[in-house]
A and B are shown apart, each in its own frame.
Chain A
Amino acid sequence: MIKIQNLHKSYGNTAILKGIDVEVKDGEVLAIIGPSGSGKSTLLRCLNFLEKAEKGIIEIDGAKVNVEQYTKADVVQLRSKTGMVFQNYNLFKNKNALHNVSEPLRLTKKMPKKQAEQVAYDLLAEVGLKGKELNYPVALSGGQQQRVGIARALALNPYVVLFDEPTSSLDPELVEEVLNVMKDVMKQGRTMIVVTHEMEFAKEVADRVIFMADGYIVEQGTPEELFTNPQNERTKRFLKNYLTLHN
C-alpha cells in the first residue's frame, strides 16, 4: 500500500503542499481532481522525487522514506516502485517506440537487449501499437505517443503508475483510446493514481476521488459520494464550474 503522511512542499516562500495525508490500498485506483495550481502535479512528482518535498513521510509498497533524511538509495527504491505517465508524454525523441520502452529496462534493470525488446514488443501490442514499434515519436499521433508512454511506465513493472493529466494534451478524438488503455491497466489490478480533468473517467474507473485545493485535501470519497453529494463548499463550487463549462 501507499501511505503519505504530512507532506509539505514549497517553492521559495510559496507553500504548495501544506500537509497532505493519503493512503492508497493495493490495486486501488485513486483519482485526484482540483483547480489549476492546487498542487496536484506537485504531489505526484514528490512521490518519485522529481520534486523534493521538505517534510513528510512517503511509503510505497514497503519502501518508507522520511523526506528530511533520504539517501540516494531511497530515491532509487521509490522510483522503482513508481512509473510515471506525463501530460506531454515526454518520450525520448531520439528513440523509436520500441526503444522508448526497452532502453529503460536495459539500462536500469540490466536486462539483455533481446529480452528487453521482447518485453517492449509485447507491451506495445497490449496498448494497441502493433506495427508501430519502429516509429519515432514524431511519426506517432498524440494518442499513440501517450500509449507508448504508458507502455514505458508499465515495462518496469512498478507497484503504482502515476498519471499526470494523461489526456489533457490530446485532441478530443484521441482521448478515448488512451482512457481505454488505462482501463486495461486498471483491470490488471495495478495500483493507479490519476490526476485528471476527465470527471466521467474518474466516475467510471476510480475507487476513490480526492479533491485538492490550495495545497490541502479538501474532501475525499467514492466517486458517487464526491460527485453526487459533495459536502464541502469548495468542492461544490468546483464541480458546478466544471459542469457549466462542459455542458
Chain B
Amino acid sequence: MNFDIGYMFDIFPRILQYLPIVLYMGTLSFVLAVIVGLIFAVIINAKVPVLYQLLRVIISYFRGVPTLIQIFIFYFGLPQLFPSLSSIQAITAVIIALSIKNAAYLSEVFRSAFLAVDKSQFEACEAVNMTKWQGLRTVILPQVFRVAIPATGNYYIMMIKETSLAFTIGVVDMLARAKLESAVTYKFLEAYLAVGLIYWAITVVLAFLQSKLEKYMERPYLKEATKS
C-alpha cells in the first residue's frame, strides 16, 4: 500500500492556514444571501407589482445556472461590460455569485416560513398599538426564523463547501493549497483527503451548532418549556 499517513498529518496545519479564508467567503456570502433572500421574500409575499414578476425571473435564472458558470460570468464576464470592474477580485466575484444564487434559494425558504406563521398575531400587535415594524421584529420575525432555521442552516453548510469552487479562478484557499502541496510530492490522495476531512469536520461542527440553535428556538413551543 502506498499511503503516507504521516505526510497527511504534516500538511494539515499548512492547509488549515487557509481555513479563515474559507470561513470568510462562506460566512459573508451567507449573511448577504440571508439579507437579500429576506428582501426577495417580502417583495414576493407582498406581490409588489413589476418587482415581483422581475424577481420570479431572476430567481429562476439563478437557480438554473450552475454555480461555477455563475462565478465565471461574474469574474471574467462582468469586466467586459463594465471596464471599471476590470480589477474585480476573485474573492469578491465568488462572494457575489454565491450570495445571489443562494439568496434565490433562501427567498423560497423565507417565503414559506412567513406563510407558516399565524398572521392573526400581527393583528394583535396592531390592536395594542405596536408599529408594523415593532410587530414584525418582536413577534413575527422570530417565528419566521424558527421555521426557517433548519433549512437555512443547511444552506450555510452547503455554501461553505461551495466556496471550494473559488480555487478555479485563482483564490488561494484550502483546496488550492492542497493542490500546490501534492504537485510537489505527487501525494495526491493524502493531500486531497486531508482537505476533504477538514470540510467534513467543519460540517459536523456546524450541524451540531445548528441543532443546538434549533433546540433553543423551539423552547417556547414545547409544552414543558416554562422558563422565560
Which residues of A are interface residues toward B (Cβ below 8 A)? 48-50, 76, 79-80, 82-84, 86, 88, 90-96, 98-99, 103-104, 107-108, 134-136, 138-139, 152-153, 156
Contact = CB atoms under 8 A, between A and B. Distances in A.
Contacts of A152: 124, 128
B124, B134, B222 — which one has the most chain A CB atoms within 10 A of its CB? B124
Given A50-B123, A86-B123, A93-B118, A104 B128 contact: yes
Nearest to B122: A90
A93 B121 CA distance: 8
B220 A108 contact: no
B143 A93 contact: yes
Given A48-B127, A79-B126, A96-B228, 12 more contacts: A48-B126, A79-B127, A88-B120, A93-B143, A94-B139, A94-B146, A96-B226, A103-B138, A134-B227, A138-B223, A139-B225, A152-B128
A111 to B, nearest CB: 13
A82 B123 CA distance: 13
A221 B222 CA distance: 47
B226 A135 contact: yes
Interface in B88-142: 118, 120-121, 123-130, 134, 138-139, 142
Contacts of B123: 50, 86, 90
Dominant SS at the B interface? helix
Contact of B228 (A79, A91, A92, A98): A98
B216 interface: no
Contact of A93 (B134, B221, B226): B221
A86 B124 contact: yes
B227 A50 contact: no
26 contacts: A49-B126, A86-B123, A88-B120, A90-B121, A90-B123, A92-B139, A93-B118, A94-B139, A94-B142, A95-B220, A103-B138, A104-B128, A104-B129, A107-B130, A108-B128, A108-B129, A134-B227, A135-B226, A136-B220, A136-B221, A136-B225, A138-B221, A139-B224, A152-B124, A152-B128, A153-B127
Interface residues of B, number: 27
Contacts, number: 84
Contacts of B225: 136, 139
Contacts of A90: 120-121, 123-124
A149 B62 CA distance: 45
A5 B129 CA distance: 24
A103 B127 CA distance: 13
Given A88-B120, A136-B225, A94 B220 contact: yes
Contacts of B129: 76, 79-80, 104, 108, 156
A169 B124 CA distance: 17
A43 B220 CA distance: 34
A138 B128 contact: no
Nearest to A45: B123
A169 B205 CA distance: 45
A86, A90, A98 — which one has the most chain B CB atoms within 10 A of its CB? A90
B222 A138 contact: yes
A102 to B, nearest CB: 10
B125, B129, B134, B219 — which one has the most chain A CB atoms within 10 A of its CB? B129
Nearest to A104: B128
B138 to A, nearest CB: 6
